[in-house]
Amino acid sequence: MKYNNPVIKGFYPDPSACKVEDTYYLVCSSFQYFPGVPIFESKDLINWTQIGHCLTRKNQIQLDTVDSSGGVFAPTLRYNNGRFYMTTTNDTLRQNFYVWTDNIYGEWSDPINVDQGGIDPDLYFEDGKTYFMSNGTDDYGVNGIVQCEIEIETGQKLSPSRSIWQGSGGRYLESPHLYKINGQYYLLAAEGGTEYGHMVTYARGNSPTGPFKAYPHNPVLTNRNLGGYELQGVGHGDLVQDHEGEWWLLHLGFRQTGQYLTYHHLGREVFLTPITFGEDGWFTAGHEGTTLISFETDRIADTVIQQEKRVFTFENTDWNLDWCYLRHPVTENYRLEADKIKLKGTAVTLDIPATPTFIGIRQKDFNAIISCEVSLTNGEAGITLYMDENHHYDLALRKHPEGYEIIERLNIGDIKSIEKTKNIGQCNHASLVVKSSPTHYHFYIQVDGTEILFGAAQTKYLSSEIAGGFTGVLIGLYATGEDQDYNAIFTNFSCLYS
């Protein structure tokens, strides 16, 4: 069959996966968004359904003081003796920790801290021992992939942290994962940084503690030399073995906005690349070490069909799965109903790294029509295309002393500008429409069923290349205001991808 990449679209970076019986499970990083660490499941590696989040309680993750792209960095998901473990870093606190659950559809434990620095923690279980890996500097001042043994019940270190591999020479050695395959230990990593130079590298050895010998042809996977190719930045991945014994890499990458337009604003997404082991025990990845937009493979049955949900509405999404908040939400400011939401705006705007009244869903594809109706009593409420507090576009309804107006606001770094306003008198209701293409957002208002073009802005100013950071654009519904009551009601939300 032929499958398309990405297999999970939109801002879902740093995938880590494991297989339990006939099901694959996968987690991603979530940074300043709450709940943290989305969990997906799949039976066939190409159709993924979100089933929950690992970090659903405030006592599991401190996000209040977290800047954009701070907070929850890359997680690892592992299963041992009937228990799932998810380990990650709160990068803002520089703290590695893990949580566990015996029911992946339920709640996860309180965090257990590990006193080893660096990011991208990994767990490897063998013979009653637990090895904990991360990147960084070891107890002797040596950089690299750093490892210690821990007691899994308490997170206590049972051995000093020791650097076990220094990588293949690329910058930003990170994302370690350790596996035992056919009696050998494989240490997978990412190098090059999570931009255009990103790559996957690995080494192998005879013991979980090394020494490790680098694969002679590293990087095993990178798209860094594919100029003019839509998929870039591939790296940071995790190996899984399928039901038939074949190996795959689930990893991140991004889609740039055009063949030679080196911007991406949808965030880093999840890609699937076949892995092939040679007789010598070294493996290769993808098509000559690159990831393609689609792979023809006989490893997945022709009867498997890659499904894609193209329409997202209030009615067909789940508030607890598809939608998320900036840092810890003030829950009483949200009334989430089957077909509408009521928001209580506060004085906190989208322009500061705090907790505005905001609920967002990831933009999963370039071409989309996003629409909703909003009613307002005071303050402001509307749709935001939100990358971070300094990079967002808003189409909103706003109260002014004599009545109401529609505004189009562009917020690009130091330039914060209301581009257009339209006075709508005493009418406190508006239909807002945003049409998105790879390169532009066009803003419309709908009056009596007719769409009136209000303005436009380029997507590239919301891209990671301009905004920096590790996240992607969310379609947010937001409100600001000073009242004590719910000042905005949203209905008829739809995001239709073509």
The catalytic residues are 14, 174
- Least distance between ligand 6LW and beta carbon 307 (Å): 27
- Least distance between ligand 6LW and beta carbon 448 (Å): 46
Q: Is 470 in the site for ligand 6LW (CB under 6 A)?
A: yes
# residues near ligand 6LW by CB under 6 A = 15
Tell me which residues in 192-251 interact with ligand 6LW (CB under 6 A).
194, 235-236
Among residues 28, 39, 74, 266, which is the contact residue for ligand 6LW, using CB under 6 A?
74
Q: Is 388 in the site for ligand 6LW (CB under 6 A)?
A: no
Q: Is 73 in the site for ligand 6LW (CB under 6 A)?
A: yes
Q: Is 175 in the site for ligand 6LW (CB under 6 A)?
A: yes
Torsion, CA 69, CA 370, CA 436, CA 273, rounded to 10 = 60
- Least distance between ligand 6LW and beta carbon 193 (Å): 8
Tell me which residues in 22-51 interact with ligand 6LW (CB under 6 A).
29
Q: Is 177 in the site for ligand 6LW (CB under 6 A)?
A: no
Among residues 6, 10, 13, 379, which is the contact residue for ligand 6LW, using CB under 6 A?
13
- Least distance between ligand 6LW and beta carbon 247 (Å): 21
Q: Which is nearer to ligand 6LW, 5 or 29 (CB)?
A: 29
- Least distance between ligand 6LW and beta carbon 456 (Å): 31
Tell me which residues in 427-456 interact with ligand 6LW (CB under 6 A).
none
Q: Which is nearer to ligand 6LW, 175 or 218 (CB)?
A: 175
- Least distance between ligand 6LW and beta carbon 252 (Å): 6
**C-beta nearest to ligand 6LW: residue:** 194
Q: Is 88 in the site for ligand 6LW (CB under 6 A)?
A: no
Among residues 44, 120, 365, 408, which is the contact residue for ligand 6LW, using CB under 6 A?
120
Binding mask 255-294 for ligand 6LW (x = CB under 6 A): ----------------------------------------
Residue with the two structure tokens 């592992």: 78
Tell me which residues in 303-342 interact with ligand 6LW (CB under 6 A).
none
Q: Contact residues for ligand 6LW (CB under 6 A)?
A: 13-14, 29, 73-74, 119-120, 174-175, 190, 194, 235-236, 252, 470
